[in-house]
A and B are shown apart, each in its own frame.
Chain A
């Protein structure tokens, strides 16, 4: 059987841009399409990333029209016409056909959860109502269930059912479908994290949210697989693995729109109730920018900060402990670094009795007299603080929540673990854990990214700083 439409190569699932009033922003939509035009095989408007479920039918029709106009017959448009109700899918598909779409993509009917018969009937009735090629769409994360493999097996015998987009990311499902339908329809991957294994397994292309952010990378992966160059394919997939994970798992259209905005393509915000600060946290926003920098999609940022070389006893003046006090009151100090480049960490540590300058500094730092240098206690994990109590003060100003989060996670945990190990080893005497406190000034580069390495570096630097501070014992 020859199908009328073959689905191959890279397709972006286009976002739907909105203005401040949540109305469709036509100009922005046109610019989005123009921006990716040369890098993709065709377009998918009103998919999940296009927030189709938040659009009225009239709005979806308008989006189809604009997209078809921009594609101008040069590249295929696959219109997202899915809906829980068969009748509505038929109506939207009819419109798409008349408007000049090349195919439609139709999601498994959701919410009222029809069983196999209802799902079959949904696609069957649609296929009878239109001449357009139909792409079935499996996305259990949003639908709440899989498009059953046995139903697909029966549907592929219908002439104008031409492909399946599988966004599940579940390769056991993908392979099962491929085994059953290979040669009868095309199967494309819709989950950005598993593009390479899906292509390697037999998928013929992809429809992806991230294909409007880095279509060039996906073209390289696609080509490398066709050229049977597994090493190259793997390399390209891994350069975007983290961003793809963020797009797939941290709220779909929201992070994609954030990424596009960093790239100078302002698509506005997603419609409520989706919001930044929901699945995608404020503290992870900057993470997207730094990843885009790495693949050259936004120009690199080079934060400036000062790290003057000072003798150790002068390193605590900004937190209110003077060299004189350090000498006169036998306050313990130590300093050490670990790691290199972006992952370099420096710890300056001071320890002393609660009723002396260190105790006063501890209490004073916790009331944040210095904006951007907010202190936090070292905890092994929330509700399990280190002993002796230790406050972490950033050496370099924290300018965003992501930076603060590096302090919250890797610094808090790494420093606390070092303290716990040094107490257990007897280097920090157990007898002082209730009478003394510590402060550590912690330096980490504002663009540092790899938290696993940072954790280890915070740990190592603190271990060494403690050794230095406590080498002569506590008097």
Chain B
């Protein structure tokens, strides 16, 4: 089968929403389709981001049915039908064909590490079903990275219409352009290099992050089509950090948490995917900030009750953000950012009203410090006391703490004033204590600053929002892994 005209543009690898009991959530899946459909050229169901390996065959077919029904012919629907055995893949592909899928996305058979010969024969068998096939190279998951010559050989099968490459390996992809660009379509599945791939000649994108930002990917695709290279490049850079998080942590978990923060209750990934695991707690904070910057998480009104007065502010809110915040005598927030290990930042932050315990503690601290200069007021409004977790002993440690960590801390405070968590009207009513950890062996100055910015920013948000919530703690408390809990 020659190249097909319809396979181009932006395809989200749509997540599979679950309810609390891990059963499929059909309603949310339909809602998600309606959110994405205006910006996409089609959908991929039960791909890697759709957690296909965690779904039964029945569930995969059911989700395909739902998507086909909801889309109602508006755009093509591609079914993920990959499985480790040839028998299973052929069966799923046949069923997808019967349900009306436009093509099947078929992953390289995984787990038993078959040879190239066995892989070729696997696809040869699937080819016999008659449904158009998209080859799917994703070595991060399958454990096997197709060689250009395997893909070139498979491209000759008459039902193979395209290859999706999620490796991010540009030398491999450029070999595909050279060898099979005229024969079949080439799709990029690795978000970080998507614009580079389009500019090099890729026909389209199948991406996890297209669940979150389908509109931006569509704009990038259009810029490339019109030859507007610079605009495409700039847009990619704008989303680079967001898509790096999605591509390198856990696609399904990051996208689901992102959608949840945007207001789509897609639920948890199925276990063993866990929050705070491959997609780390700090990735979640960063993803949130990126979605805020891109306007995907909207500001919401909230009220702070300081006791003697109330303040109204607007903050970029997730479903966890309370509308009313009280108990300002003492608010505690903890934030951690790293690696690299030596430059990790760990900030314990207190926020409290003037005249309260936090204020008194600052007075006591300054008195006890008696001009030694170890504890310092590093910010005026809100008045912020820096407390070193470890007393500095060398000039280098001193520089890292009082110059670089402090720069990060002030940056975080300024950003929190900017985004509304520390509203301007409150800055003279509250004081802060930041207990800041800089490892005695830290070296990379810039990382110390950046990690301290991050840790302090998370700490401020968590103090205000009262995070983690008890619900989060209950869900995660058995699987937590404190890194220092173990003997060397």
What residues on A are CB-neighbors of B365 within 8 Å? 364, 367-369
* Whole-angstrom distance between the Cβ of A416 and the nearest chain B Cβ: 8
> Pick the contact of A277 from B276, B342, B352 — CB < 8 Å?
B342
Binds B, one of A7-15, A121-129, A376-384: A376-384
Beyond A354-B357, A366-B350, A367-B387, is A409–B485 a contact (Cβ under 8 Å)?
yes
Taking a contact as CB atoms under 8 Å apart, the answer to whether A367 and B473 are in contact is no
What residues on A are CB-neighbors of B112 within 8 Å? none
What residues on A are CB-neighbors of B358 within 8 Å? 363
Taking a contact as CB atoms under 8 Å apart, the answer to whether A366 and B360 are in contact is no
Taking a contact as CB atoms under 8 Å apart, the answer to whether B486 and A362 are in contact is no
The answer, yes or no, to whether A287 is at the interface (CB within 8 Å) is yes
**A369-402 Cβ-contact flags toward B at 8 Å (1 or 0):** 1010010110111111111010000000000010
The answer, yes or no, to whether A171 is at the interface (CB within 8 Å) is no
Taking a contact as CB atoms under 8 Å apart, the answer to whether B473 and A420 are in contact is yes
The answer, yes or no, to whether B423 is at the interface (CB within 8 Å) is no
The interface centre, meaning the residue of A245, A371, A379, A380 with most chain B CB atoms within 10 A of its CB, is: A380
The answer, yes or no, to whether B139 is at the interface (CB within 8 Å) is no
Give the CA-CA distance A277 to B276 in the complex, in Å.
27
The answer, yes or no, to whether A449 is at the interface (CB within 8 Å) is yes
The answer, yes or no, to whether B327 is at the interface (CB within 8 Å) is yes
Taking a contact as CB atoms under 8 Å apart, the answer to whether B468 and A354 are in contact is no
Give the CA-CA distance A451 to B364 in the complex, in Å.
35
* Whole-angstrom distance between the Cβ of B393 and the nearest chain A Cβ: 11
Number of chain A residues whose Cβ lies closer than 8 Å to a Cβ of chain B: 60
What residues on B are CB-neighbors of A284 within 8 Å? 488
What residues on A are CB-neighbors of B368 within 8 Å? 367, 369
The answer, yes or no, to whether A430 is at the interface (CB within 8 Å) is yes
Beyond A287-B488, A366-B433, is A379–B375 a contact (Cβ under 8 Å)?
no
Select from chain B the residue with minimum beta-carbon distance to A408: B484
Taking a contact as CB atoms under 8 Å apart, the answer to whether B282 and A383 are in contact is yes
Beyond A366-B435, A401-B440, A420-B473, is A434–B327 a contact (Cβ under 8 Å)?
yes
The answer, yes or no, to whether B474 is at the interface (CB within 8 Å) is yes
Taking a contact as CB atoms under 8 Å apart, the answer to whether B327 and A374 are in contact is no
The answer, yes or no, to whether B192 is at the interface (CB within 8 Å) is no
Question: Among residues 464 to 488 in chain B, which have CB atoms less than 8 Å away from a CB atom of chain A?
Answer: 466, 468-470, 472-474, 476-477, 480-488
The answer, yes or no, to whether B336 is at the interface (CB within 8 Å) is yes
Select from chain A the residue with minimum beta-carbon distance to B485: A409
The answer, yes or no, to whether A437 is at the interface (CB within 8 Å) is yes
What residues on B are CB-neighbors of A420 within 8 Å? 473-474, 477
**A249-293 Cβ-contact flags toward B at 8 Å (1 or 0):** 010000000000000000000000001111001101001000000
Taking a contact as CB atoms under 8 Å apart, the answer to whether B330 and A362 are in contact is yes
What residues on B are CB-neighbors of A455 within 8 Å? 485
* Whole-angstrom distance between the Cβ of B469 and the nearest chain A Cβ: 8
Give the CA-CA distance A218 to B469 in the complex, in Å.
53
What residues on B are CB-neighbors of A194 within 8 Å? none
Question: Among residues 431 to 451 in chain B, which have CB atoms less than 8 Å away from a CB atom of chain A?
Answer: 433, 435, 440-441
Taking a contact as CB atoms under 8 Å apart, the answer to whether B488 and A246 are in contact is yes
Taking a contact as CB atoms under 8 Å apart, the answer to whether B477 and A380 are in contact is yes
Give the CA-CA distance A385 to B468 in the complex, in Å.
7
What residues on B are CB-neighbors of A354 within 8 Å? 327, 329-330, 357
What residues on A are CB-neighbors of B458 within 8 Å? 383
Select from chain B the residue with minimum beta-carbon distance to A455: B485
Give the CA-CA distance A281 to B487 in the complex, in Å.
13
What residues on A are CB-neighbors of B327 within 8 Å? 354, 434-435
Select from chain A the residue with minimum beta-carbon distance to B487: A451
Give the CA-CA distance A420 to B163 in the complex, in Å.
48
Beyond A367-B362, A376-B348, is A384–B357 a contact (Cβ under 8 Å)?
no
Taking a contact as CB atoms under 8 Å apart, the answer to whether A381 and B276 are in contact is yes
Select from chain A the residue with minimum beta-carbon distance to B275: A384
Taking a contact as CB atoms under 8 Å apart, the answer to whether B334 and A377 are in contact is yes
> Pick the contact of B486 from A368, A383, A434, A451 — CB < 8 Å?
A451
Give the CA-CA distance A452 to B487 in the complex, in Å.
7
What residues on B are CB-neighbors of A364 within 8 Å? 357, 360-361, 364-365
Question: Among residues 393 to 416 in chain B, which have CB atoms less than 8 Å away from a CB atom of chain A?
Answer: none
Question: Among residues 336 to 358 in chain A, which have CB atoms less than 8 Å away from a CB atom of chain B?
Answer: 354-355
Give the CA-CA distance A412 to B330 in the complex, in Å.
21
Taking a contact as CB atoms under 8 Å apart, the answer to whether B482 and A381 are in contact is yes
Beyond A281-B441, A364-B364, A366-B350, is A387–B473 a contact (Cβ under 8 Å)?
yes
Give the CA-CA distance A423 to B486 in the complex, in Å.
25
Give the CA-CA distance A430 to B31 in the complex, in Å.
34
> Pick the contact of B473 from A275, A386, A404, A435 — CB < 8 Å?
A386
The answer, yes or no, to whether B179 is at the interface (CB within 8 Å) is no
The answer, yes or no, to whether B60 is at the interface (CB within 8 Å) is no
Taking a contact as CB atoms under 8 Å apart, the answer to whether A413 and B485 are in contact is yes
The answer, yes or no, to whether B389 is at the interface (CB within 8 Å) is yes
* Whole-angstrom distance between the Cβ of A126 and the nearest chain B Cβ: 36
The answer, yes or no, to whether A242 is at the interface (CB within 8 Å) is yes
The answer, yes or no, to whether A450 is at the interface (CB within 8 Å) is yes
The answer, yes or no, to whether B391 is at the interface (CB within 8 Å) is yes
The answer, yes or no, to whether B332 is at the interface (CB within 8 Å) is yes
Known: A363-B358, A384-B476. 20 other contacts (CB 8 A): A275-B441, A278-B441, A360-B357, A364-B364, A367-B364, A371-B391, A374-B389, A382-B346, A385-B462, A387-B470, A413-B482, A413-B484, A420-B473, A420-B477, A424-B474, A430-B470, A433-B470, A435-B327, A452-B485, A452-B486
The 10 closest A-B pairs by CB, nearest first: A409-B484, A277-B441, A382-B336, A383-B281, A363-B361, A413-B482, A367-B365, A354-B330, A389-B332, A380-B480
Residues of chain B touching chain A, judged by Cβ–Cβ distance below 8 Å, are: 276, 280-282, 285, 327, 329-330, 332, 334-336, 342, 346, 348, 350, 352, 356-358, 360-362, 364-365, 368, 375, 385, 387, 389-391, 433, 435, 440-441, 458, 462, 466, 468-470, 472-474, 476-477, 480-488
| Interchain Cβ contacts under 8 Å between A and B, 28 examples | A245-B488, A277-B342, A355-B329, A359-B330, A359-B356, A362-B332, A362-B357, A363-B358, A363-B433, A364-B360, A366-B348, A369-B364, A379-B482, A381-B482, A382-B482, A383-B276, A383-B281, A383-B285, A383-B334, A384-B468, A389-B332, A409-B483, A409-B485, A410-B484, A412-B482, A413-B484, A451-B485, A452-B487
